[in-house]
Chains A and B, each alone.
Chain A
Amino acid sequence: MPSTLSLAPSPVHTVCHCSHCGEPTGFGEAHEPVFCCSGCATAFHMIHHLGWEDYYALRTYGGPRVDAHANIDLDRRLILDNLEAAGVQVHPLTDGLCSVRLAVDGLHCAACTWLIERVQTTILGLESAQVRMSDRSIELIYDPARTEPMVIANQFAKLGYCLSPWTADSEDTQGFQKQQREHWLGIATAAFFAANAMWIGVALYAGEATGISAGHEYFLRWVGTLLGGLAIVFPGRLFFRTAWQAIRSRTPHVDIPVAISLTMGIAGSLWGAASGVGDIYFDSLASLILLLRIGRYIQFRAQYRTSLSLAKLLRWNSNTAVRLEADGSRTRIPASRLNAGDQVEILPGEMAPADGLVISGDSCMDWSLLNGENRAKPVSVHDALYAGTTNVTAPLTMSVTAVGSETRMGRLMELVRKGASQRTPSIEAADRVSKWFVAIVLLLGAGTWLTWTLVANVSVASETTMALLTIACPCALALAAPLVLTVAMGKAARRNIWIRDGACLERLAKPGMLWLDKTGTLTTGKLQVLDWHGDDEVLPWAMSLEKSIQHPIAKAICSFASQQAVQCVVYPPLHAQDVSYAIGKGAAGYVAGNSILAGTRQWLLENGVAIDDAFLTIERTAWTHNRSVVWLAVDGRVRGLFELGDPLRPDAKEALRRISSMGWKLGILSGDRQELVDHLAQELRSHGIDIAQSLGQHGPEEKLQVIQRTKANGIGPCAMVGDGVNDAAALAAADVGIAIRGGSDQALQAAPIYIANGSLSAVLELMQASGSVVRGIRRCFAASLIYNTITLTMAMLGWIHPLIAAVLMPISGLTVLTMAVSVNAFKKGN
């Protein structure tokens, strides 16, 4: 148990990782399977029972986390129950079978595909289940007479894979597939022409060196011209088309200089080929087109991924709502069809579908999505409710005041979308460098040719210019930065750090200001029992009482009791009877004939329990450490006391200390109460947290303002680490936004960097890796520049023969490639 606040010596535990999903789990011994929740345990045993342990060997990432009571939630069930109404197309096949495409949540790597397609064989009536990794979808072919999508979805849910309707972005995906294929077609043709034009070029240079018959030279020149021409007509057409559109609409575009360079090249080469004296550059032109097409493709992928994660984020409210009709009946409709003035019912465990006012009912709302605070707030009649908050305890009726993008949540998502789209992808660097490079080289070539024609004669001039054009290789310059970044990103992904925007990695090299969210980022974000004072034998009783209650505290006590007192679990399990519950006070009930009370001291006093002085002292100490206390009484006598809190992440202190020693300033940016933030800041003061920069009670909008202020007057980059939707706007606005896996919120993958293993040390690793990456890029640039300057000068002076130039050119590219791959970012064991 990573109890960082505890006074009493806590039992020695190593930090273990859940055997199924790989999430850090505080309990258990290292050599035995441990689980973060009973859902994961079920999935693990199910996989072992079926003899498919190979799954754990095949996978490269942790599996999906399974909810304890793995059943698909109400909304999805409603939709899956009636696919036609939800707009999902079910295609009837010839032999009475049906086929349907659904989205799968929780896919990580190829092993998931393997597991899902294995599970298919155990589900009756499911003929085939084919997963498509690229767009995270699954095609089910089933026999409608024997099974239905809901049953199948339930089976998959037990393993942690949730199925949901796929319609929302199926058009998008089809468009993506089509565009992706077009990019591939272009790259393939460009590669064919480039490769062939290049070896014809090599033959010409070799002929220049060793002698070639005029007929052969003439023939090779024309074949080269033909190949280069085809390269421009087919894969290269794209650049002329966009350049022409840009000229017509009078907007500057990168394709204009690219098209000018290409035109210059074509004109020169055509003249050379026709007159037989000048040079032909068709090999260079064809390879340039190939490089540009590859650059475009990478850019297209990056943009698509951004838009996809944004679409996911904006669909946070794809849930349904129960509307109360005028005649008192209830209908369940999609939340998008609500209007202001409608009355809706929100059951416990459901999310408010819109902003509104409570009309009737008393309950607690969980605000964690909006402000990251994990304590439920009580609400009653006339209180405002915000979309995105979750009802915890009792049914509420609400009158809707704002829906969709008008809600506070909707406006927040709009801020996120703006922040994320302001970012320009760094991939354009390849275009930028190569287009100027080409223009400069062509100018130099023309100059060299003229000079040498005046000084010597035309044939010497041609030879020198040819050497110059061959040796000038934009590949090394253009590829250095993207290559180093791609290699580093690949290595990071193997360590469960997913980097979407490579430029972010570069920005972390210089120390600046690092803001950290509190709940879920510095802490684990889950309420846990940190200490228990009392008899272990009453734990099963407390557990059976709390089991029937939907409350974070009850859940924490249940999981503590089941893990701490496994040996005292009674079979058959005990069942609590006559359970009653008072909001903000506690619960009462009967277990095996004994009256059990769990709650605040006040609750126990109200029920006539005498309070022990020893326990009072414990309670006071716990309060000074900002922990909540739950008293447990059996048959009118206090039998124990739970101390609950949100513990720090086990690696937080060490990571913070090392980050601050690198020169970073650390601040806390939290939606939680200021006193709690202050308390944590005091504790972490010696680890580099700045007390003056520990801000509490900051909602999503204020967090965004703090980030913008820091960016405006800060020195160095402004980075933010957060875990909730309430941090999303700040993450998108920061120079470097790092989302950390906490509340398992898929939406946060919209952040440029996503730490999937949920450890804070990954932030430290990122910073160290960033240094190596920036140094690596500089080394590659320097090497490439020096190389090009020296060889170009030598070529212009006529010291290099075209044949030697043809050999030297690939060596330059190869050097940069080797240097880029050898950059040791994310080295194991640092």
Chain B
Amino acid sequence: MSVLYVALPVALLLGGSALVACLACIRSGQYDDLDGPSVRLLNDELSS
């Protein structure tokens, strides 16, 4: 059961890296406009 001493920090590190990625996304402004992009997707498809 001593695997716990390795697995737990690894799990936390994995989760932590996801958190860091999420924070980077927020900082870069990806979440500032939540409605626009969903429609813009349609726009590109139609105009192509």
Q: Interface residues, chain A, CB within 8 Å of chain B?
A: 54, 58, 109-111, 113-114, 117-118, 121, 130-134, 177, 180-181, 184-185, 188-189, 192, 196, 213, 216, 219-220, 223, 227
Report yes or no: A192 in contact with B35, Cβ–Cβ below 8 A.
no
The interface residues of chain A lying within 8 Å CB-to-CB of B34 are 133-134
> Contacts A118-B47, A181-B27, A192-B16 given: A219-B4 contact, CB under 8 Å?
yes
Report yes or no: A132 in contact with B36, Cβ–Cβ below 8 A.
yes
Report yes or no: B23 in contact with A189, Cβ–Cβ below 8 A.
yes
Report yes or no: A113 in contact with B12, Cβ–Cβ below 8 A.
no
Report yes or no: B8 in contact with A223, Cβ–Cβ below 8 A.
yes
Candidates A121, A134, A196, A220; contact of B32 at CB < 8 Å: A134
Q: How far is the CA of A58 from the CA of B12 in the complex (A)?
A: 43
Report yes or no: B4 in contact with A132, Cβ–Cβ below 8 A.
no
Report yes or no: A188 in contact with B23, Cβ–Cβ below 8 A.
yes
Interface bits B1-35 vs A (CB < 8 Å: 1, else 0): 10011001000100110010011001101011111
The interface residues of chain B lying within 8 Å CB-to-CB of A177 are 29, 32
Report yes or no: B36 in contact with A133, Cβ–Cβ below 8 A.
yes
> Contacts A189-B19, A192-B19 given: A133-B47 contact, CB under 8 Å?
no
Report yes or no: B42 in contact with A114, Cβ–Cβ below 8 A.
yes
Q: List 8 A-B contacts (CB under 8 A).
A: A110-B35, A113-B35, A117-B43, A133-B34, A184-B31, A196-B15, A213-B1, A219-B8
The interface residues of chain B lying within 8 Å CB-to-CB of A192 are 15-16, 19
Per DSSP, chain B at the interface is helix
The interface residues of chain A lying within 8 Å CB-to-CB of B46 are 54, 118
Q: How far is the CA of A220 from the CA of B43 in the complex (A)?
A: 51
Tell me the smallest distance from the CB of B15 to a CB of chain A, in Å. Answer: 6
The interface residues of chain B lying within 8 Å CB-to-CB of A132 are 32-33, 36
Q: How far is the CA of A493 from the CA of B36 in the complex (A)?
A: 19
Q: How far is the CA of A731 from the CA of B23 in the complex (A)?
A: 41
Q: How far is the CA of A117 from the CA of B47 in the complex (A)?
A: 11
Q: Who on chain A is nearest to B27 by CB?
A: A181
The interface residues of chain B lying within 8 Å CB-to-CB of A131 are 36
Report yes or no: B43 in contact with A118, Cβ–Cβ below 8 A.
yes
Q: Who on chain B is nearest to A199 by CB?
A: B11
Report yes or no: B23 in contact with A185, Cβ–Cβ below 8 A.
yes
> Contacts A181-B26, A189-B19 given: A219-B36 contact, CB under 8 Å?
no
Report yes or no: B39 in contact with A113, Cβ–Cβ below 8 A.
yes
The interface residues of chain A lying within 8 Å CB-to-CB of B39 are 58, 110-111, 113-114, 117
Report yes or no: B26 in contact with A216, Cβ–Cβ below 8 A.
no
> Contacts A118-B47, A196-B15, A219-B4 given: A133-B35 contact, CB under 8 Å?
yes
The interface residues of chain B lying within 8 Å CB-to-CB of A196 are 12, 15
The interface residues of chain B lying within 8 Å CB-to-CB of A220 are 8
Q: Who on chain B is nearest to A137 by CB?
A: B33
The interface residues of chain B lying within 8 Å CB-to-CB of A58 are 39, 42
Tell me the smallest distance from the CB of A749 to a CB of chain B, in Å. Answer: 18
The interface residues of chain B lying within 8 Å CB-to-CB of A213 are 1
Q: Interface residues, chain B, CB within 8 Å of chain A?
A: 1, 4-5, 8, 12, 15-16, 19, 22-23, 26-27, 29, 31-36, 38-40, 42-43, 46-47
Tell me the smallest distance from the CB of B25 to a CB of chain A, in Å. Answer: 9
The interface residues of chain B lying within 8 Å CB-to-CB of A113 are 35-36, 39-40
The interface residues of chain A lying within 8 Å CB-to-CB of B27 are 181, 185
> Contacts A133-B33, A134-B32, A185-B23 given: A216-B43 contact, CB under 8 Å?
no
The interface residues of chain A lying within 8 Å CB-to-CB of B15 are 192, 196
The interface residues of chain A lying within 8 Å CB-to-CB of B23 are 185, 188-189
Tell me the smallest distance from the CB of B43 to a CB of chain A, in Å. Answer: 5
Q: Who on chain B is nearest to A182 by CB?
A: B26
The interface residues of chain A lying within 8 Å CB-to-CB of B5 are 219
Q: How far is the CA of A180 from the CA of B43 in the complex (A)?
A: 28
Tell me the smallest distance from the CB of B45 to a CB of chain A, in Å. Answer: 11
Report yes or no: B47 in contact with A121, Cβ–Cβ below 8 A.
yes
The interface residues of chain B lying within 8 Å CB-to-CB of A117 are 39-40, 43
The interface residues of chain B lying within 8 Å CB-to-CB of A121 are 47
Q: How far is the CA of A219 from the CA of B4 in the complex (A)?
A: 9
Report yes or no: B38 in contact with A134, Cβ–Cβ below 8 A.
no
The interface residues of chain A lying within 8 Å CB-to-CB of B32 are 132, 134, 177, 180-181
Most chain B CB within a 10 A radius of its CB, from A54, A114, A132, A180 = A114
With A114-B40, A118-B46, A121-B47 already in contact, 18 other A-B pairs whose C-beta atoms are closer than 8 Å: A54-B42, A58-B39, A110-B38, A110-B39, A113-B36, A114-B39, A114-B43, A117-B39, A117-B40, A131-B36, A132-B32, A132-B33, A133-B35, A181-B27, A181-B32, A188-B19, A192-B15, A216-B1
The interface residues of chain B lying within 8 Å CB-to-CB of A219 are 4-5, 8
Tell me the smallest distance from the CB of A812 to a CB of chain B, in Å. Answer: 26
Tell me the smallest distance from the CB of B19 to a CB of chain A, in Å. Answer: 5
The interface residues of chain A lying within 8 Å CB-to-CB of B31 are 181, 184
Q: Who on chain A is nearest to B16 by CB?
A: A192
The interface residues of chain A lying within 8 Å CB-to-CB of B19 are 188-189, 192
The interface residues of chain A lying within 8 Å CB-to-CB of B1 are 213, 216
Q: Who on chain B is nearest to A107 by CB?
A: B35
> Contacts A188-B22, A196-B15, A219-B5 given: A110-B36 contact, CB under 8 Å?
yes
Q: Who on chain A is nearest to B38 by CB?
A: A110
Q: How far is the CA of A223 from the CA of B26 in the complex (A)?
A: 27
Tell me the smallest distance from the CB of A330 to a CB of chain B, in Å. Answer: 43
4 residue pairs, one from A and one from B, having the closest CB atoms? A133-B35, A114-B39, A110-B39, A192-B19
Q: How far is the CA of A213 from the CA of B5 in the complex (A)?
A: 13
Tell me the smallest distance from the CB of A271 to a CB of chain B, in Å. Answer: 23
The interface residues of chain B lying within 8 Å CB-to-CB of A185 are 23, 26-27
Tell me the smallest distance from the CB of A190 to a CB of chain B, in Å. Answer: 11
The interface residues of chain A lying within 8 Å CB-to-CB of B36 are 110, 113, 130-133
Tell me the smallest distance from the CB of B17 to a CB of chain A, in Å. Answer: 11
Q: How far is the CA of A227 from the CA of B8 in the complex (A)?
A: 12
Q: How far is the CA of A189 from the CA of B18 in the complex (A)?
A: 11
Q: How far is the CA of A110 from the CA of B5 in the complex (A)?
A: 50
Tell me the smallest distance from the CB of B18 to a CB of chain A, in Å. Answer: 8
Q: Who on chain B is nearest to A213 by CB?
A: B1
Most chain B CB within a 10 A radius of its CB, from A109, A118, A180, A192 = A192
Tell me the smallest distance from the CB of A641 to a CB of chain B, in Å. Answer: 51
Tell me the smallest distance from the CB of A725 to a CB of chain B, in Å. Answer: 29
Q: Who on chain A is nearest to B11 by CB?
A: A196
Most chain A CB within a 10 A radius of its CB, from B27, B38, B39 = B39
Q: How far is the CA of A58 from the CA of B41 in the complex (A)?
A: 13
